[in-house]
Amino acid sequence: MPSQPKDHDLVISARPSSIGRFGRYGGQYVPETLIPALTELDNAAKLAWQDKSFTQELTHLLKTYVGRETPLYEAKRLSEHYQGKNGGPRIWLKREDLNHTGAHKINNALGQALLAMRMGKKRIIAETGAGQHGVATATVCARFGLACVIYMGKEDMKRQALNVFRMKLLGAKVHPVTAGTATLKDATSEAIRDWVTNVESTHYILGSVAGPHPYPMLVRDFHAVIGEEAKEQCKKAFGRSPDVLLACVGGGSNAMGLFHPFVEDRSVRMIGVEAAGEGVNTNRHAATITEGRIGVLHGAMSLLLQDANGQVKEAHSISAGLDYPGVGPEHSYFNEIGRAEYVAITDQEALTALQLVSEKEGIIPALETAHAFAFLEKLCPELAKGTEIVINCSGRGDKDVNTVAKQLKYMD
């Protein structure tokens, strides 16, 4: 296993390969019925990126509808909190929580909706875990008058009742999924089955850097605006690129969006934070890169939580958005070649971080995002003074207040 990536491995245009591979990860493990649609999507995306009318409309809507660019905010009180005797790092938040609908997810949903319309597809389906991607998709469908069906695990519908209501209000049909563990994994399977059935009229807005090629690339490219903005903002704020990038990883879309423009710059340390649930040595976690083995789920080869017989394991995390036994193939690749590090944070650590950030900065992060913040506890003591950290503040926590209140026993 190569530990030091060669320069050509890091060149952005070389990933994925023409057959959709990131090293040995990625590919297209889907029923034959979908292959022509994936080819069509790949071609449509290539043409769209070269078409000024597409990129101009996307940029315009990102600005006027989504509210980009999002600020790079210096979290002074949080930085102060982590100051040791010799000083400490400076912590910056890329405020994706300030996007319309409250998370980074809309960058991709908007881009894919525009693509769907270019392809003449008038019906949209999507899967959702925490509901953020479902809300983002329902939102853009309302904006463009597209029919919208969201697949969501029944268990997640309970955990994220507020987002279910938002999607319905936006005119989407929310389809409860009861199969398997009734969470994101099963919702994704059911969305793929819908797509297999209605592929001729329907576009599937997959919400993470997972799934069959071209999705890991497509979703990454729509989120790369996060990193591109951050790169410029860092230059303005402190005259150079940051030293450390920190983001939570379920499927890994917000992390990939932040990382992507920095991949070739090896001086930038990239850290992805997975959900350790009740602990990686228990059976109840979602730390795919930390604990998984190579396998195939939802159309891609990647690391995967599975049992000795190759059956996909149930994942667990307090945050519905990280509760997924797979991970995007490019993250598995970065892990393998050592370009990014992956660590895991427990439910309890995430809850503590959520409270800390709320109290210190007046920002209630999503439970998913709180995992990234929680890693500061372990990371900061080892960093030199003057280290510049950018955290992707990927979503806001309004949707999680019930879960948090229950856990912290704020409620009677």
For 59, other C-beta atoms within 10 Å of its C-beta total 12
Given the structure tokens 């329902």, which residue do they identify? 138
Residue whose CB is less far from other proteins, 127 or 243: 127
Given the structure tokens 């109840």, which residue do they identify? 284
Tokens of 86: 């010799």
Residue whose CB is less far from other proteins, 193 or 360: 193
Residue whose CB is less far from other proteins, 199 or 225: 199
Largest Cα separation within the chain, whole Å, is 63
* Contact predicate 391/270, CB 8 Å: no
- The continuous run of DSSP H or E covering 161 comes out as helix 161-169
Return the closest-CA partner of residue 117 out of 195, 54, 35.
54
In the complex, minimum distance from the CB of residue 227 to other proteins, in angstroms, rounded to a whole number: 30
Residue whose CB is less far from other proteins, 258 or 327: 327
Strand partners, 258: none
Which one of 69, 94, 105, 332 is the catalytic residue?
105
Rounded to whole angstroms, how far apart are CA atoms 54 and 58? Answer: 6
Rounded to whole angstroms, how far apart are CA atoms 155 and 180? Answer: 11
Residue whose CB is less far from other proteins, 298 or 399: 298
Which one of 127, 274, 330, 336 is the catalytic residue?
127
Taking CA atoms, 190 is separated from 14, 126, 159, 177, 201, in Å, by 32, 10, 19, 7, 17
Given the structure tokens 């998984």, which residue do they identify? 292
In the complex, minimum distance from the CB of residue 29 to other proteins, in angstroms, rounded to a whole number: 5
What residues line the site for other proteins (CB under 8 A)? 19, 27-37, 179-180, 185-186, 189, 192-193, 196-200, 293-299, 304, 306, 309-312
- The β-bridge relationship of strands 147-153 and 293-297 is unpaired
Which residues 6+ apart lie within 8 Å of 370 measured at CB? Answer: 248, 319, 350, 351, 353, 354, 357, 397
Residue whose CB is less far from other proteins, 98 or 315: 315
Judged by DSSP in three states, 173 sits in: strand
Residue whose CB is less far from other proteins, 129 or 261: 129
Cα first-last separation, the chain:
53
Active site annotation includes 394:
yes
What length does the chain have? 412
Active site annotation includes 127:
yes
For 145, other C-beta atoms within 10 Å of its C-beta total 9
In the complex, minimum distance from the CB of residue 250 to other proteins, in angstroms, rounded to a whole number: 17
In the complex, minimum distance from the CB of residue 21 to other proteins, in angstroms, rounded to a whole number: 10
Angle (nearest 5°) at CA 298 between 295 and 304: 30
Active site annotation includes 105:
yes
Burial of 57 (0-12, 13-18, 19+ CB in 10 A): middle
Residue whose CB is less far from other proteins, 22 or 222: 22
Active site residues: 105, 127, 394
